[in-house]
Amino acid sequence: MDFGGRYLFAAPREAVWTALNDAEMLRAAIPGCDRLVWVSDTGLEAAISIDFGVVRPRFIGDLTLTNVVPAQSYTLSGRGRGGLLGLAGGAADITLVDHPGGCVLDFSANGTASRTILRLGRPIIGASAQRVIDRFFERFGDAMRTEVIPLEP
């Protein structure tokens, strides 16, 4: 499954970069996240409950940053264990570009899931993932105390 998006932040690129690397700010912005801690310079441990509508599994896993270009871009990849539902994983390429009055965050992501999760149906999972993404950016802007406007791809 592939996802993506573009968001205009009414904040300088450096401020958005700092916020993207602040575990507490991210934890507050990720719907269902009750644990997010740095365990190394490029690794985080997370615990996140995902609302698939019919079930709400809790995924525990690891996130890793690679291809880091400070204040410009990185790749965030992760894999989580969702108990009886199995595994889910994904990766997102995130880029920040200066824009008059702020910066634009552009991301493209792909995700995978175990057959047990896929039995819920791709439309349910896809809609759930997009809701999580949309809510994340709304909450992330609130946590940064800045306006975030979704843009057309």
The enclosing domain of 46 has a CATH number of 3.30.530.20
pLDDT, position 13: 97
CA atoms within 13 A on the CB side of 122: 5
- Number of domains composing the chain: 1
> Per-residue pLDDT tens for 19-57?
999 999 999 998 888 899 999 999 999 998 876 666 677
Q: Which domain holds residue 111?
A: 2-151
Query: DSSP E strands: which ranges in the chain?
Result: 2-9, 33-38, 43-49, 58-69, 73-81, 87-99, 102-113, 148-151
